[in-house]
């Protein structure tokens, strides 16, 4: 082990890695929960379409279904990579 | 009023059966007439944990099919008064459980046997068997291990409980669901190797019913066929007793969540 490893920031504990990963996946699964059964597939197909034009991550497309006073709102969020936005 | 409680998790092997046995026994010890039902059709196991495997004559599916009535089918526990076991069938027929059939069993336990509590030991998964165990529940205990796949599956199960129970379908809202974190190892949490109770609570965002430590006593209990809650000297037994008290509304501090082998830092600064 080199002397530099003491200067580097301390490695994150495996539990905190687990927590972060869980927070992301759980938030994602909750966003399509209770919605119509086609939502996950819609999300997947939208991702395919976006990828035809921009290389984006698996979780770049975010779908959220909200109900407001008898009206359903489908909210779509697509996060583009920084280079593409410029 | 008979209360129906489902012990569920999504993931298998996390401690549902161990918990169902402990919770049912704990409620019976406090004088509540309680039946614990094994919903794991095809994989009967609760009978072994309860130590009544040699007295099984009829099972859940027999009652549904009318081969036996409820009083013939339930097994009266030999160690604890007020405690009854209804074993799972060993059939491989996936459709053996019908909603009407299960409702009939609950009705018989309520009307013919005047149960205070019915504890439903759910099978793993989020398929028909698990849905059937949860459908009529008034309350849920979500059993989770401090490990990523178990927490994720529990979150999915909490979502299912919020939409796929009779309560939810009738527009009565979510049933109360409380978290039981089992196989917890404070030493490993303190080393940063295991999700802490706070982490899991933060992610799942439901009330904490209890924390059951990883314990040799659980294996000893299953070897002997005696629910671990009866091992009153053991950590797991005491943790389950506390959980039963909280289940009934007592406010108790959580125990067994920190290691007693503290390092120098812990000894200097620990509480
Ligand atoms: N607190 C615990 N400490 C140690 N082992 C445990 C604990 N809880 C459960 N186990 C073990 O884990 C295994 C699975 O438990 P079980 O209750 O059958 O889970 P499930 O019903 O969810 O499949 C069993 O071998 C059991 O002895
Ligand atoms: Mg089980």
Q: pLDDT tens-digit profile of B169-195?
A: 998 988 999 999 999 999 999 999 999
**Residue of the CA atom closest to atom 23 of ligand 1:** B13
Neighbours of ion ligand 2 (CB under 5 A): B 16-17
Residue B192: which of A14, A29, A30 has the nearest Cβ?
A: A14
A34 touches chain B (CB under 8 A): yes
**Residue of the CA atom closest to atom 16 of ligand 1:** B15
pTM of structure: 0.87
Q: Which residue has the tokens 């959220």?
A: A64
Residues B114/B182, Cβ–Cβ less than 8 Å: no
Taking residues B39-58, what's their average pLDDT? Answer: 97
Whole-number Cα distances in Å, B129 to A60, B140, B167, B208: 35, 15, 18, 25
Higher pLDDT, A42 or A86: A42
Banded pLDDT at B271 (limits 50, 70, 90):
very low
B262, pLDDT greater than 80: no
> Among A39-53, B31-45, B97-111, B220-234, where is mean pLDDT lowest?
A39-53
Residue B203: which of A16, A23, A34 has the nearest Cβ?
A: A23
The percentage of residues in chain B with a pLDDT greater than 90, rounded to a whole number, is: 90
Give dist(CA B50, CA B77) in Å, integer: 8
Å between B192 CA and nearest CA of chain A: 5
Residue B192: which of A13, A22, A26 has the nearest Cβ?
A: A13
Q: Which of B8, B18, B234, B241 is the best mutation target for the ligand 1 pocket, counting ligand atoms within 8 Å of the beta carbon and taking the most?
A: B18
The ligand 1 atom at the shortest distance from the C-alpha of residue B18 is 17
Give dist(CA B123, CA B12) in Å, integer: 7
Cβ-based neighbour number of residue B70 at 10 Å: 22
Banded pLDDT at A84 (limits 50, 70, 90):
low
Give dist(CA A76, CA A67) in Å, integer: 14
B155 touches chain A (CB under 8 A): yes
Residues B59/B115, Cβ–Cβ less than 8 Å: no
- The token pair at B120 is 């439903």
What pLDDT does residue A78 have?
Answer: 87
Run of H or E residues at B139: strand B139-144
| Residue B181, helix vs strand vs coil | strand
B53, pLDDT greater than 90: yes
Taking residues B210-231, what's their average pLDDT? Answer: 98
The percentage of residues in chain B with a pLDDT greater than 70, rounded to a whole number, is: 96
B36, pLDDT greater than 60: yes
What pLDDT does residue A76 have?
Answer: 84
| Residue A81, helix vs strand vs coil | coil
Which residue in chain B has the smallest CA separation from A27? B203
**Residue of the CA atom closest to atom 6 of ligand 1:** B218
Higher pLDDT, A59 or B229: B229
B181 touches chain A (CB under 8 A): no
Q: For chain B, give the mean pLDDT.
A: 94
Give dist(CA B163, CA B153) in Å, integer: 16
Beta bridge partners of B121: B7, B38
Give dist(CA A60, CA B137) in Å, integer: 38
Tell me whether residues B193 and A14 touch, CB distance under 8 A.
yes
Banded pLDDT at A15 (limits 50, 70, 90):
very high
Residues of B in contact with A30 (CB under 8 A): 155, 159
- The token pair at B151 is 């927490």
Enumerate residues 29 to 58 of chain B having a beta carbon within 8 A of any beta carbon in chain A: none
B161, pLDDT greater than 60: yes
Q: What is the pLDDT of residues B76-91, one digit of tens each?
A: 999 999 999 999 999 8
HSE-CB of B140 using CA atoms within 13 angstroms: 32
ipTM of the complex: 0.85
Q: What is the pLDDT of residues B102-143, one digit of tens each?
A: 999 999 999 999 999 999 999 999 999 999 999 999 999 999
Beta bridge partners of B104: none
């Amino acid at each position: 082990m080199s002397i530099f490893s003491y200067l580097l920031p301390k490695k994150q504990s495996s539990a905190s890695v687990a927590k972060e990963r869980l927070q992301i996946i759980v938030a994602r699964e909750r966003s399509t929960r209770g919605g119509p059964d086609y939502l996950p597939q819609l999300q997947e197909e939208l991702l395919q379409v976006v990828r035809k034009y921009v290389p984006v991550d698996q979780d770049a497309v975010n779908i959220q279904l909200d109900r407001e006073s008898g009206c359903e709102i489908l909210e779509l969020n697509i996060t583009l990579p920084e280079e593409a936005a410029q | 009023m008979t209360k129906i409680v489902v012990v569920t998790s999504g993931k298998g092997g996390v401690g549902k059966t161990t918990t169902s046995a402990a919770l049912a026994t704990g409620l019976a010890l406090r004088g509540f007439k309680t039946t614990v039902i094994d919903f794991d059709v095809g994989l009967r196991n609760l009978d072994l944990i309860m130590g009544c495997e040699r007295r099984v004559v009829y099972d859940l599916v027999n009652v549904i099919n009318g081969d036996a009535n409820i009083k013939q089918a339930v097994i009266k526990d030999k160690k604890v008064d007020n405690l009854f076991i209804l074993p799972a069938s060993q059939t491989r027929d996936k459709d053996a459980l019908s909603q009407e059939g299960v409702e009939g069993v609950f009705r018989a336990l309520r009307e013919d046997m005047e149960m205070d509590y019915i504890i439903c030991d759910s099978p793993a998964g989020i398929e028909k068997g698990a849905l059937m165990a949860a459908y009529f529940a008034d309350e849920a205990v979500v059993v989770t291990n401090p490990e990523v796949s178990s927490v994720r599956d529990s979150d999915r199960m909490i979502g299912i409980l919020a939409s796929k129970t009779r309560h939810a379908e009738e527009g009565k809202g979510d049933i109360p669901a409380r978290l039981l974190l089992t196989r917890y190892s404070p030493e490993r949490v303190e080393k940063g190797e295991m999700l802490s109770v706070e982490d899991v609570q933060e992610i799942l965002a439901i009330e904490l019913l209890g924390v059951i430590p990883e314990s040799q006593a659980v294996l000893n209990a299953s070897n002997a066929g005696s629910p671990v809650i009866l091992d009153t000297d053991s950590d797991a037994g005491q943790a389950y007793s506390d959980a039963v008290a909280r289940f009934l509304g007592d406010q108790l501090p959580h125990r067994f969540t920190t290691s007693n082998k503290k390092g120098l830092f812990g000894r200097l600064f620990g509480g």
